[in-house]
Homo-oligomer: A and B are copies of this chain.
Amino acid sequence: MNDQQERQPPSRRIAEELRAAIMRGDLGDGDQLPSERDLAARYATARNTAREALGILQAEGLAQAQHGRGVFVRLRRPLMRMGRDRYSRRARNETGLSPFRIEVERQGRTPHTECRSVTTVQPPAEVAQRLGLDAGQEVVRRENWYFADDEPMQVGVTYIPTAVVEGSPLASAKKLGRGSIYQRFEDLGYPIARIREEVSARMPTPDEVKGLSMPPGVPVIELLHTSLDGDGRAFEVTRFVMRADVNGLDYNMPVED
Flag whether A256 is at the interface (Cβ < 8 A). yes
Flag whether A200 is at the interface (Cβ < 8 A). yes
Q: How many copies does the complex hold?
A: 2
Are B255 and A200 interface neighbours, CB within 8 A?
Answer: no
Contacts of A61 in B (CB 8 A): 202-203
Are B217 and A203 interface neighbours, CB within 8 A?
Answer: yes
Contacts of A195 in B (CB 8 A): 251, 253, 255
Name which residue of chain B comes closest to A60, CB basis. B203
Are B202 and A76 interface neighbours, CB within 8 A?
Answer: yes
Flag whether A181 is at the interface (Cβ < 8 A). no
Binary per-residue interface labels of chain A (182-220) against chain B in the complex, 1 for a CB within 8 Å, 0 otherwise = 000000000011111111111100000000000011111
Contacts of A201 in B (CB 8 A): 201, 219-221, 244
How many of chain A's residues have a CB under 8 angstroms from any CB in B?
Answer: 40
Flag whether A177 is at the interface (Cβ < 8 A). no
Binary per-residue interface labels of chain A (235-257) against chain B in the complex, 1 for a CB within 8 Å, 0 otherwise = 00000000011011111111111
Q: Measured between C-beta atoms, what is the minimum distance from A5 to chain B in Å?
A: 12
Inter-chain CA distance A254–B99, complex, in Å, is: 12
Flag whether A43 is at the interface (Cβ < 8 A). no
Flag whether A78 is at the interface (Cβ < 8 A). yes
Are B199 and A221 interface neighbours, CB within 8 A?
Answer: yes
Top 4 A-B pairs, shortest CB-CB distance: A201-B201, A219-B219, A201-B244, A199-B249
**21 A-B pairs in the complex with CB atoms less than 8 angstroms apart:** A59-B203, A59-B216, A59-B217, A61-B203, A88-B257, A192-B255, A193-B255, A194-B252, A194-B255, A195-B253, A197-B249, A197-B251, A197-B252, A198-B248, A198-B249, A199-B221, A200-B248, A200-B249, A202-B219, A203-B218, A254-B257
